[in-house]
Amino acid sequence: MANIFVFGSNLAGRHGAGSALHAMKHHGAVYGRSFGSMGTSFGIPTKDENLHVLPLSRIQAYVNDFICYALDHPEDTFNVVAIGCGLAGYEPYQIGPMFMGAPLNVKLPEEFERYR
């Protein structure tokens, strides 16, 4: 049973700012890895290898894979930050609905919770 910090990353795995830097410093995120479970963190890409913002459809695919992972790990609690709404520049109404149907072990930020 673990508390997992879910953060927005980039496809280069450069965790140099925002929640990604926090994940690397405090939750075992691995420099060079962009997606998936790392230590007590889980990365969801919102930017590409050149740090350009990913289209919503690509982010949705990563969120879907994350939700499948969370369903397969009901013993863990996944604490999602407002991915895509900081450095990537999206608004909560654009990202929040991506988490619709997420299991109860996924704790969403207040900005996303109303879209659950």
Domain ranges of the chain: 3-113
Token look-up 């654009």 returns 94
Q: Along the 116 residues of the chain, how does pLDDT read in single tens digits?
A: 899 999 999 999 999 899 999 999 999 999 999 999 999 999 999 999 999 999 999 999 999 999 999 999 999 999 999 999 998 999 999 999 999 999 999 999 999 998 88
DSSP state of 21: H
- Cα Rg of the chain, angstroms: 13
pTM (global) more than 0.85:
yes
As a whole number of angstroms, the distance between CA 9 and CA 33 comes to 9
How many residues would you count in the chain? 116
Query: So what's the pLDDT on residue 116?
Result: 80
State both tokens at 91.
């608004």
What residue type is 13 in one-letter code? G
Query: So what's the pLDDT on residue 14?
Result: 94
Query: So what's the pLDDT on residue 87?
Result: 87
Q: Which CATH superfamily is domain 3-113 in?
A: Leucine Aminopeptidase, subunit E, domain 1 (3.40.220.10)
